[in-house]
Amino acid sequence: MRTVTHAMGMSLDGYINGPDGSFDWSAPDEELHQFHNDRVREQSVQFCGRRLYELMRYWEADDGTWGPVERDFAEVWHVLPKVVFSSTLTAAELGPNARLATASPADEVRAIEEGIVGVGGATLAAALAREDLIDEYGVFLHPVLVGSGTPFFAAGIRETPLTLVEQRAFAGGVTHLRYRR
């Protein structure tokens, strides 16, 4: 069985970044970072849009400042297969365990029969949500208002009933909410 999950940080007013594109307010403390490590460790593959993929390239080389939790995440991220949706990147520009998508996001998902498919990036998630292909939504709700920016949920998504299956409050004020279709 395949499960498609979309999990991202979100401001209390519904944005994944602020009007200038920044999201420094979502930097995880050690407890939340370990939670992310364990969540990503369970995935079979990660779908990324170009911007998220380029952002996550940070985890390919330790700059000497990482602690044990960051090094653990880098190891998890390094071995995780990634499918990158981009019209500007070439296969030669991709790092290890990454490939360019050869089909639409929906067709790439449908080609996977088993495992957990992580979906990162609001635009990519919106394309899959419009096709009703996301099984679970994970919201990391941050106690901040940013006013505008990129919304967690894009316009054009149809009404989808969800059931809360997990919630957890972190010491830093972040609340994780996991919903299933």
To the nearest 10 degrees (0 to 180), the angle between helices 68-79 and 30-41 is 20
Is the sign of the CA dihedral 56, 59, 64, 66 positive or negative? positive
Is residue 155 predicted with pLDDT exceeding 80?
no
pLDDT tens digits, residue range 14-63? 999 999 988 999 999 999 999 999 999 999 999 999 989 999 999 988 88
pLDDT tens digits, residue range 64-101? 999 999 999 999 999 999 999 999 999 889 988 999 99
Domain boundaries, the chain: 2-180
Is the sign of the CA dihedral 45, 50, 52, 56 positive or negative? positive
* pTM exceeding 0.85: yes
Instruction: Collapse the DSSP code of 9 into the 3-class scheme (helix H, G, I; strand E, B; otherwise coil) and give the result.
Output: strand
**Beta-carbon-side half-sphere exposure of residue 67 (alpha carbons within 13 Å):** 6
- Tell me phi and psi for residue 173, to 5 degrees: 100, -5
Q: Which CATH number fits domain 2-180: 2.60.40.10, 3.40.605.10, 3.40.430.10, 1.10.730.10?
A: 3.40.430.10
What is the predicted pLDDT for the residue at 137?
96
- Placement of tokens 């390919």 in the chain: 60
3-state helix, strand, coil in the chain (%, to 5): 30, 30, 40
Q: What is the DSSP letter of 132?
A: T
